[in-house]
A = this chain, B = another copy of it.
Amino acid sequence: MRVLGVDPGLTRCGIGVVDGVAGRPLTMVGVGVIRTPAEAETPDRLVAVEAGIEAWLDEHRPERVAVERVFSQHNVRTVMGTAQASAVAMLCAARRGLPVALHTPSEVKAAVTGSGRAEKDQVGAMVTRLLRLDAPPKPADAADALALAICHIWRAPAQNRLQQAVAAHRAAPAPRRTAPGRRPQKGRPA
């Protein structure tokens, strides 16, 4: 399975492509950063991010795309750019019919380091080890994009089973539902 990971951002959008399956050694196919000038207008920056992601998709033909899930708890200004860049990444992938998965930063950290609260350096070190690189990819956004791709390769089997279970459940005739608190309680007086 070839996965393209995207650590979304307008100033630096990390991109990492990894080949592999869960339980086997992984291979880095490519890593880089799409940069757009901070002084440019947001619409033009989004066009540049789109062109960059399209070029990566064209060159590496991934089967799946993993994008960092954005929360709005953080810095107001930063989070908007991140949300907008992630929208462009999702759009580019979905337009090609590629499945898109979103992973939270803590899911990614937990996948590669064992701790959802790991520091940036630790993520970089584990990415270096898992992909047998000579040095941690720079900047951190590039390493994070590779970590996202690794996280997705490792979580995909579990996610697929879950999705199949949900699909099977939806396809099955719905069971009669009883409203919460109104379930008849056996052995107790009403």
Contacts and interface: CB of A to CB of B under 8 A. Distances in A.
A29 interface: no
A50 B88 CA distance: 10
Interface in A118-153: none
A47 B91 contact: yes
B87 A83 contact: yes
Interface residues of A, number: 27
A151 to B, nearest CB: 18
Nearest to A100: B43
A72 B72 CA distance: 7
Interface string A59-77: 0000000000011110010
A94 interface: yes
Interface in A84-112: 84-88, 90-91, 93-95, 100, 102
Nearest to A78: B72
Nearest to A95: B47
A87 B70 CA distance: 14
Interface string A12-55: 00000000000000000000000000000111101100100000
A95 B76 CA distance: 26
A102 B41 CA distance: 11
A50 B41 CA distance: 20
A173 to B, nearest CB: 18
A43 B83 contact: no
23 contacts: A41-B100, A42-B90, A42-B102, A43-B90, A43-B93, A43-B94, A46-B87, A46-B90, A46-B94, A47-B94, A70-B80, A71-B76, A72-B76, A72-B79, A73-B76, A83-B84, A84-B84, A84-B86, A84-B90, A85-B87, A87-B87, A88-B91, A91-B91
Q: 3 closest A-B pairs (Cβ-Cβ)?
A: A43-B94, A84-B87, A43-B90
